[in-house]
Amino acid sequence: VKFLAAEALRGVGGLLLDADGHRFSNELGRRDYVSDKMFHNKGPFRLVLNTASSNEMKWHVEHYKGRGVMKEFNSAYDLAKEMGIPASTLEQTFKDYKEVASKQEANPDGGEYDAYPTGKTFDKFGKKFFKNYDFQMNDHYNVAIVTPLVHYCMGGLKIDTSAHVIGKDDKPIRGLYAAGEVMGGVHGNNRLGGNSLLDCVAYGRISGKDLINNFYPSAQRVPLKDLATGRTEPRKPSIVVGGGLAGFSAANTILERGGEVILIDKSAFCGGNSSKATSGINGSCTKTQKRLGVKDSNEQFEFDCMKGGSKNPQLIKTMVEASGPSV
């Protein structure tokens, strides 16, 4: 099982150790830097959080333990035993780390090594900022095995200034838009935290405006605040994209106001709220069935809606298959 862990796990003081129990990188380095260090060192690699670090990320830690990707140890001795290394090795690693961190705390601008991103440090791996660095052998630890993983691709479909996808003939494909990670051309060769927000928000808005102007000009008469609260004119179709359970809730609100809804979302089996999303699907279908007087099962009703077989479909659910696990 692989799971993309929050960057904050490193930020609150998590240590990255190789198979021999040694540090091998600046834990706060970029993903590409840390991945490269892993490729040149001995795995498996572990992210180790002491009690202080774990408490700062308690929700995340409990979530990852529940997923089975993080394990709790009653002491560093137990961790060393599982790693198959002498406990003295971990003890020395912890001692060296605390010594470096203490020096840096006492003299923030000192040190003989170049720090990342700037300045000097006492840490040979270039780490300048330390948090929760007191690792004791008798402390409790939460540990996860970590590995390099391609989870974001730079680049993608070529688009024009209206977010139209450019075809093989270098001409825009009418009606086909791209926004988010699927498109390229905004960022450089390294992923930045939250860079999808620019792609999605900016180009989502651009493509939405162009789509309305060219294909559905009457929609411009609906104020944005009314769309946000589901206050659309009766029989005027609305589109709710994603949002999991919140998306289904928004769809239900629009239905209750007499509107029609197209709900586009990923498969329910792909995230931390999968059970809630699944119950939301069933709840939405049940409510809609009662309103229409349909007595079929949820599954049959969903199928009929997707086929467009009902004369007055109130809820169309497009589930994007093969989306893979959401991590």
Task: For residue 247, give both structure tokens.
Answer: 């998306």
Ranges assigned E (strand) in 116-243: 120-121, 141-146, 164-166, 172-177, 237-241
C-alpha 11/C-alpha 310 separation (Å) is 53
* Residue that is written with structure tokens 């150790």 in the block: 17
Q: Which of 306, 293, 298 is nearest to 281 (CA)?
A: 298
Q: Which of 30, 31, 191, 231 is catalytic?
A: 31
AA letter at 247: G
Residues 6 or more apart whose CB falls under 8 angstroms from that of 93 comprise 15, 17, 21, 22, 23
d(CA 112, CA 122): 6
* Amino acid sitting at position 187: H
Confirm whether 231 is a catalytic residue.
no
Please return the burial class of 147, using the count of CB atoms within 10 Å of its CB with bins 0-12, 13-18 and 19+.
exposed
List the catalytic residues: 31
